[in-house]
């Protein structure tokens, strides 16, 4: 069976102190009050999606057409509870492979949700908080998001490697008072460090502006993140892109998924990718 150590209907507004990192408190919900976010989507074959670092505890969930939607998220958190930072990640829809949940007809089959497979952050504190508090193994690198009057350019580097450059036209956004509230709602995602899968509840404003994916430039460099993006490009160009500014995000404290029937590693399936700067599992 699948179980978590807190009920899913827990109040999103209830505040708890998770602990300290570098003498700074980690409090949930973790709020981002002002973010600029680009979402670039790809459709990938299942084997390409699995190679992004799904690991032994999850299986990708293809759509009706047999492909797996993969999302490249590029975010600049300008004002946030954990301080200003930037974050780049790849996520795929996946479901946990836990005891009693593997059969396609099982009544308690775990639902598919976005699984964070790879990520890069640009501050040491955020990198530590992502790993210890959220269960996300990521690399500490450099992320520069330049929001110009007509263009958005994001450059990602890990160590001495230039990993990724993404450029898109900046859509014209109405003044704050005239902007209708972007879509928002409670959602859930999966994370995993080592052999400890987690479920994370969050609420995020959806970037409201659609951008023609044909005018989005994605240039991978070198390193694991670049290789992952290059594998997506080999399967086809981006299928959609969205952009938003002045967005809000609220992340609830993760809860471990409890497996009462541990399964051995699946032969031939790669574990989570190890980027430069990963914390040891």
Q: Is the dihedral of CA 72, 240, 247, 164 positive or negative?
A: positive
Please report where in the chains the tokens 């999966």 appear, as a residue: 190
Phi/psi of residue 59, nearest 5 degrees: -130, 135
**Pairing verdict, β 258-259 and 113-121:** unpaired
CA atoms of 129 and 21, how far apart (whole Å): 7
Tokens of 195: 């052999």
The pLDDT value recorded for residue 137 is 86
**pTM of the predicted model over 0.95:** no
Q: What is the mean pLDDT of residues 35-55?
A: 95
Task: Say if CB 137 and CB 29 are below 8 A apart.
Answer: no
Task: Say if CB 134 and CB 107 are below 8 A apart.
Answer: no
Task: Say if CB 154 and CB 122 are below 8 A apart.
Answer: no
Tokens of 197: 């899968």
CA atoms of 71 and 88, how far apart (whole Å): 10
User: Within 10 Å of residue 32's Cβ, how many Cβ atoms?
Assistant: 24
The pLDDT value recorded for residue 78 is 96
User: What is the distance between the terminal CA atoms of the chain, rounded to a whole angstrom?
Assistant: 25
pLDDT digits (tens, 9 = 90+) for 148-193: 999 999 999 999 999 999 999 999 864 544 444 455 568 899 999 8
Q: Is the peptide bond before 29 cis (omega within 30 degrees of 0)?
A: yes
CA atoms of 13 and 251, how far apart (whole Å): 10
pLDDT digits (tens, 9 = 90+) for 206-257: 999 999 999 999 999 999 999 999 999 999 999 999 999 999 999 999 988 8
Task: Say if CB 58 and CB 272 are below 8 A apart.
Answer: no
């Amino acid at each position: 069976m699948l179980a978590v150590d807190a009920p899913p209907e827990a109040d999103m507004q209830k505040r708890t102190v998770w602990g300290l990192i570098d003498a700074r408190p980690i409090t949930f919900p973790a709020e981002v009050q002002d973010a600029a976010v680009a979402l670039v989507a790809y459709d990938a074959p299942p084997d390409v999606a699995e190679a992004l670092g799904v690991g032994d505890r999850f299986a990708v969930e293809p759509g009706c057409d047999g492909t797996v939607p993969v999302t490249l998220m590029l975010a600049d958190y300008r004002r946030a509870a954990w301080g200003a930072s930037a974050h780049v990640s790849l996520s795929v829809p996946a479901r946990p492979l836990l005891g009693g949940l593997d059969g396609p007809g099982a009544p308690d089959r775990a639902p598919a949700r976005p699984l964070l497979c790879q990520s890069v952050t640009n501050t040491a504190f955020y990198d530590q908080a992502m790993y210890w508090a959220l269960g996300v193994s990521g690399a500490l690198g450099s992320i520069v998001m330049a929001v110009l009057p007509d263009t958005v350019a994001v450059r990602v580097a890990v160590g001495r490697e230039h990993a990724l450059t993404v450029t898109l036209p900046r859509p014209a956004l109405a003044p704050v008072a005239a902007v209708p509230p972007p879509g928002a709602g409670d959602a859930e995602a999966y994370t995993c460090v080592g052999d400890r899968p987690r479920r994370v509840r969050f609420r995020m404003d959806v970037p409201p502006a659609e951008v023609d994916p044909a005018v989005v430039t994605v240039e991978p460099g070198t390193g694991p993140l670049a290789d992952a993006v290059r594998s997506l490009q080999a399967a086809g160009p981006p299928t959609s892109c969205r952009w938003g500014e002045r967005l809000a995000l609220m992340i609830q404290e993760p809860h471990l998924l409890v497996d009462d029937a541990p399964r051995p590693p699946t032969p031939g399936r790669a574990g989570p990718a190890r980027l430069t700067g990963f914390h040891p599992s």
